Each structure stands twice: as structure tokens, then as C-alpha cells.
Amino acid sequence: MKTQMNRKGFLGSGLAALAAIPFSNTFATNNIIPDLVPSIIPPYLKPGDMVGITAPAGYITREDIIPAATLMQQWGYKIRVGYTIGKREHTFGGTDAERLQDMQLMLDDPQIKAIMCARGGYGAIRIVDQINWTKFKISPKWVIGFSDITVLHSHIHHNFGIATLHSKMCNSFPIVWNDASMLQKQTILSIQKALSGEKLVYSAPFSNYNREGQAKGILVGGNLKTLESLAASGSDINTDGKLLFVEDTGEYLYSIDRMFWNLKRSGKLSKLAGLIVGGLKIKQDDPGEYFGQSVYEIINQRVKEYNYPVCFDFPVGHQIDNFALKCGVMHELYVRQSGSELNEK
């Protein structure tokens, strides 16, 4: 799978915040739901800006964040290591109270311009309702991560309409940069490009299962299981008119099927602009319980009655080819015979 990044100009931070793209005429302007209008873009990062690293979910050792901290310093950023890094409360990076406080400090500290979650695992949902977003809403900053961090993307998008960055986290940075594959380097560099305001272009190979077409919409999504676990909560996203991307790992095929039924039956598939399917790593069926359908077939059945483009094998997920994606930002999707392309607009 090959993905190119094009340098397509540079959005200044002040400008970006105002870069409200004229969008769908169907939404009433007097009663604006934050997640139905183009997002507020946090200021892009400049050399010398500070990135905070925290562990709102699973635990990570201090040693394990060194490659990420070192590389981001080479990019010209200052690094603030949160006190949950190196902390451990069983599977978590500290108690709920500790993880909440560390996240809160980073959200509220005006010096910190972006917050990278060190890893996923499980735990963001246990603190999201206790976070005080008052300062963050006034001075938005980039929140970075994926997998369990989908909770934060979804919550921030739905409640505040502020863009976030879905990308690899500290535990995916190569220990020795020069030993890393070209693809791994590209995915890590896509984080830097996204944070500095570059508009990214992504490509995916042709798939027989794709549905061709072209669509424009706000990009939302993340980990499928996590999205399902947010249904009907205060962090649940509205997907109407949007480009939805999903990825997951370690789920049974029947579970993928069930989750897509949940998306469908909770109204999240019927009004999409387009569907983007990243990596879905499957857990082998138990003996005698063979599901008998591939993820491609499962998903295509759930969306066959709609007309929007569907793109499979997109470079996002629990895998090496997992590129940084700006959630809440307008994108254009092209699904063609020659392959698929996603462009930030």
C-alpha cells in the first residue's frame, strides 16, 4: 500500500481558525449543533511550541516514550512529559483521578499547544465526563492519538466542534529511526506534517469491494468498538453528511457484523457522505463457529442500499500504514478504478 503526502501550501494558525468552508445548506444556522458545522481548527504548531505527553488510558514506561520525545524534539518542539508517564495502576497509566488530573493540566496549560496520548489500551472513557473543557474551548489545542483515544476525538467533535488528530502514538515511534522502514517513517512524519498545517493527501489501492464515487464531508471516526461503546452517550457523534472511517483489531467476525448492525440501526450509516474502512484485524473464529463471510462482505451488505462511495484498505488502523488524519476537518474522497484518494480540503 502506497501513500503519498503532498505539500499543498501552509495554513497559518489565525487563518485556519477562520477557514470555515462553505458547507451544506441544509443545516439551520440559528441552532448550530457543534458537530454539524466545519470544525474550529486549533492553531498549527511552530518550531519552539510545546507538546505534552500524557497517558489517559493504558500505562507506558518512561523509557517507551523516549523515541517519540526525542524525535519530536528534533522536529523543533519542546516536550513536557506528564506525570502519568511511568505511572501504573494495573492496566492503567495511574488511577482515574491521576490520569484525569494530568490530562486536565495539559488541557489548561497555555504553553502546551498539542497533547499526544502516549498509548491507547483502555481507560479514556472512565475520565472523559470529569474533564473540564472550559479553557480548551477558549484556547483549543491538538489532541493526538487513536484506538481508545477515539473517545476523545468523538467527545470533542460532538460537543465542541474542534478538530483533533487521529494518529500513531508514542508506542509506535521506531526505537532507531534509521532502522525503520520507509512506510513507518512516512506515517510518523505525517504527524509532523499534520501538526504543522500541511494538507495531507492519502491513497489506497483499488479493491473489488469498493463502491466508486466522489464525496465531500467532514471526516469523523476511529476505532469501531469504541464508537459503538459511545452510542447514546454524551460523546456520540452524528455522522450525517460526513465521511466516516473505521478500524479495529482483535475482534471476531461476528462481532464486526454486530457492530455494523449497531451503526446501521442507530442511524449512523444511512446519511453518510462516504465510508472509509481501514485495517480490521480479525480474531480467528473458534472451532465449529466459522462465520463464513469476510469483513468486506459483511460491510458491503450493511451499506448496499445506499449510494455513497465506500473505500476499503485505507491506511488507518492498528498497523504500520496508519497515517495521521484530521478528525472534524473537511475532506474529499475519490474512489476510482485506479484506486482511492482522500484529500484535506
Q: Is 159 helix (H, G, I), strand (E, B) or coil?
A: helix
Tell how strand 310-311 and strand 325-327 pair up: unpaired
User: Is 133 or 254 the residue whose CB approaches another protein more closely?
Assistant: 254
Q: Which is nearer to another protein, 247 or 251 (CB)?
A: 251
Ordered alpha helix ranges (H), 109-244: 134-138, 150-160, 182-195, 224-229
**Judged by CB under 8 A, does residue 229 bind another protein?**
yes
77 touching another protein, by CB under 8 A: no
CA distance 322 to 316: 4
Within 10 angstroms of residue 329's Cβ, the number of other Cβ atoms is: 23
**Is 63 near another protein (CB under 8 A)?**
no
- Cell numbers linked to 272: 453518510
Closer Cβ to another protein, 110 or 250, answer by number: 250
In contact, 168 and 145? CB cutoff 8 Å:
no
248 lies in the binding site for another protein (CB under 8 A): no
Which of residues 230 and 299 has its CB atom nearest to another protein in the complex? Answer: 230
Q: Which of 245, 239, 295, 299 is nearest to 269 (CA)?
A: 239
Strand arrangement, sheet containing 50-54:
78-81, 50-54, 112-117, 142-145, 164-166, 325-327
Of 79-87, 131-139, 201-209, 252-260, the segment contacting another protein by CB under 8 A is: 252-260
CB of 293 to another protein, least distance (A): 8
Residue of 290, 304, 307, 338 interacting with another protein (CB under 8 A): 290
Smaller CB separation from another protein, 253 or 316? 253
Q: Which stretch binds another protein (CB under 8 A): 41-49, 78-86, 104-112, 259-267?
A: 259-267
Q: In the complex, which residues of this chain contact another protein (CB under 8 A)? A: 58-59, 89-92, 121-122, 125-126, 129, 228-236, 254, 257-258, 261-262, 265-267, 285, 289-292
